[in-house]
């Protein structure tokens, strides 16, 4: 049966844009659709008064992969931004992530040896720390836990840290050197002209429709293409057959001000009584121009419970949701001519480079499969 497109890509975020780019370059025809009125997914940026605003929260690209760094640089020039967030707690500002400067600010230690000795004093041993609280206490003790971790975690997840897996906090660096760079990756930066420009370049020459609701006419959309690439919520795709997976969502308050608000792109507010989790000052994501911009735009970020109609950001990978996702994973394997990809479809926390890497891997496999199928048909 004739199909107008080889691939219907549902979602114009990084996974969808990468997959569509690769399949188009391999000679296949793609249609990309998105329910939002713009491309880029959550990395969407919007220029306001010469400032690229990260509309859906801060996105700093980082990777150790030469291949992925070379890939994104095909579509954008990156600046030299280095992520050095700060923490504000009880009126004090601390270096973050936890490093020797942080420990100096807390305890007055000045060398790695002094810091290690102090940490030995304050650690609370735990034989098998399987939850977030026990793990962090076993690493850095109660003062650092209370100052940097507990309040922020409770606001972010709306759960007691004892109910969360240790894997959530193990991503947090703890260093006994004067190193404030949050990421230790080989490459790091932000597109000079914003992420929207980068994704626009990725989708050049590809048909894109925004403001389109796939589920309002799913059968019709699916009939247009040989294969559907779905990047949305996996439970929604299957009409919540086994129940809803849980997510955390975010709410943002944007404000334009004169001058410079906080002197840094990201400041985390870790006290539990402060309602927001962090404040972003967007012009500082572009250090090459920040000092030349007289105004500023700040965003207060609030974590919230997810419900249908809101934007899902973070999968909650606790025992209940992990068990539920496994049921949907079985259904995914039973689908023909459907490829699932991205954070929501795989119910997995992905950084940007991981999303792109996954899309590159799946598109490569798809090209190989299509070539093999074409070969088999030709030689039958």
Choice among 300, 302, 351, 370 that is catalytic: 351
Reply yes or no on whether 222 is catalytic: no
Could you read off the pLDDT tens digit of each residue along the chain, which spans 380 residues? 578 999 999 999 999 999 999 999 999 999 999 999 999 999 999 999 999 999 999 999 999 999 999 999 999 999 999 999 999 999 999 999 999 999 999 999 999 999 999 999 999 999 889 899 999 999 999 999 999 999 999 999 988 999 888 888 887 889 999 999 999 899 999 999 999 999 999 999 999 999 999 999 999 999 999 999 999 999 999 999 999 999 999 999 999 999 999 999 999 999 999 999 999 999 999 999 999 999 999 999 999 999 998 999 999 888 899 999 999 999 999 999 999 999 999 999 899 999 999 999 999 999 998 888 775 655 55
Distance of alpha carbon 283 from alpha carbon 239, whole angstroms? 41
| pLDDT for the residue 241 | 98
| pLDDT for the residue 377 | 57
Distance of alpha carbon 320 from alpha carbon 142, whole angstroms? 29
Reply yes or no on whether 21 is catalytic: no
- Please list, residue by residue across 10-42, b when 16 or more beta carbons sit within 10 angstroms of its beta carbon and e when fewer do: bbbbbbbbbbbbbbbeeebbbbbbbebeebbbb
Q: Where do the structural domains in the chain lie, given as residue ranges?
A: 5-73+188-243+315-378, 86-168
Choice among 242, 302, 314, 349 that is catalytic: 349
Here the tokens at position 245 are 């997976």
Choice among 127, 171, 258, 273 that is catalytic: 171
Beta bridge partner(s), residue 98 = 174
**What are the residues whose beta carbons fall under 8 Å from the beta carbon of 180, sequence distance 6 or more?**
84, 95, 96, 97, 99, 101
Reply yes or no on whether 351 is catalytic: yes
Choice among 175, 195, 343, 346 that is catalytic: 175
CATH architecture assigned to 5-73+188-243+315-378: 3-Layer(aba) Sandwich (3.40)
pLDDT in tens, 24-43: 999 999 999 999 999 999 99
3-state SS, one letter per residue, for 304-318: EECCCCCCCCEECCC
Choice among 248, 269, 346, 347 that is catalytic: 248
* Inter-residue contact 62 to 353 (CB < 8 Å): yes
Packing angle, helices 195-202 and 14-25, rounded to 10: 30
Choice among 21, 88, 150, 278 that is catalytic: 278
Choice among 6, 133, 301, 366 that is catalytic: 301
* Inter-residue contact 228 to 10 (CB < 8 Å): yes
| pLDDT for the residue 249 | 96
Could you give phi then psi for residue 258, rounded to 5 degrees?
-90, 150
**Does residue 333 sit in helix, strand or coil?**
helix
Reply yes or no on whether 349 is catalytic: yes
Say whether pTM exceeds 0.75: yes
Reply yes or no on whether 301 is catalytic: yes
Q: Is the alpha carbon torsion for 141, 177, 106, 57 positive or negative?
A: negative
For 295, which DSSP code? E
> Please, how many CA atoms are within 13 Å of residue 54, restricted to the half-sphere of its CB?
24
């Amino acid at each position: 049966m004739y199909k107008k497109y080889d691939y219907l890509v549902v979602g114009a975020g990084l996974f969808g844009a990468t997959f569509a780019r690769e399949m188009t370059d391999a000679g296949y025809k793609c249609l990309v659709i998105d329910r939002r009125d713009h491309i880029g997914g959550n990395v969407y940026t919007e220029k306001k008064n010469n400032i690229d605003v990260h509309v859906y929260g801060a996105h700093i690209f980082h990777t150790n992969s030469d291949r992925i760094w070379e890939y994104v640089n095909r579509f954008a020039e990156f600046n030299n931004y280095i992520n050095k967030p700060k923490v504000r707690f009880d009126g004090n500002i601390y270096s973050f992530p936890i490093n020797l400067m942080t420990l100096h600010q807390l305890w007055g230690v000045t060398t790695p040896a002094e810091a290690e000795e102090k940490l030995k004093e304050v650690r609370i041993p735990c034989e098998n720390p399987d939850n977030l609280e026990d793990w962090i206490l076993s690493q850095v003790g109660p003062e650092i836990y209370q100052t940097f971790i507990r309040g922020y975690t409770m606001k972010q997840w709306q759960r007691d840290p004892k109910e969360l897996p240790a894997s959530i906090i193990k991503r947090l660096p703890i260093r006994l050197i004067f190193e404030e760079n949050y990421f230790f990756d080989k490459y790091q930066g932000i597109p000079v002209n914003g992420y929207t420009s980068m994704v626009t370049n990725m989708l050049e020459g590809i048909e894109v429709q925004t403001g389109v609701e796939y589920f309002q006419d799913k059968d019709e959309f699916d009939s247009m293409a040989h294969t559907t690439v779905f990047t949305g919520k996996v439970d929604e795709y299957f009409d919540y057959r086994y129940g809803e997976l849980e997510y955390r969502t975010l709410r943002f308050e944007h404000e334009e001000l004169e001058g410079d608000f906080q002197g840094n792109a990201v400041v985390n507010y870790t006290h539990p009584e402060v309602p927001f989790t962090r404040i972003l000052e967007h012009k500082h994501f572009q250090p090459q121009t920040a000092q030349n911009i007289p105004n500023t735009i700040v965003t207060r970020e609030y974590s919230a419970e997810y419900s249908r109609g809101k934007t899902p950001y973070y999968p909650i990978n606790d025992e209940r949701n992990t068990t539920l996702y496994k049921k949907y994973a079985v259904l995914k394997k039973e689908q023909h001519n459907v490829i699932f990809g991205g954070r929501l479809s795989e119910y997995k926390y992905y950084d940007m480079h991981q999303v792109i890497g996954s899309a590159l891997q799946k598109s490569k496999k798809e090209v190989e499969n299509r070539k093999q199928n074409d070969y088999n048909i030709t030689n039958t």
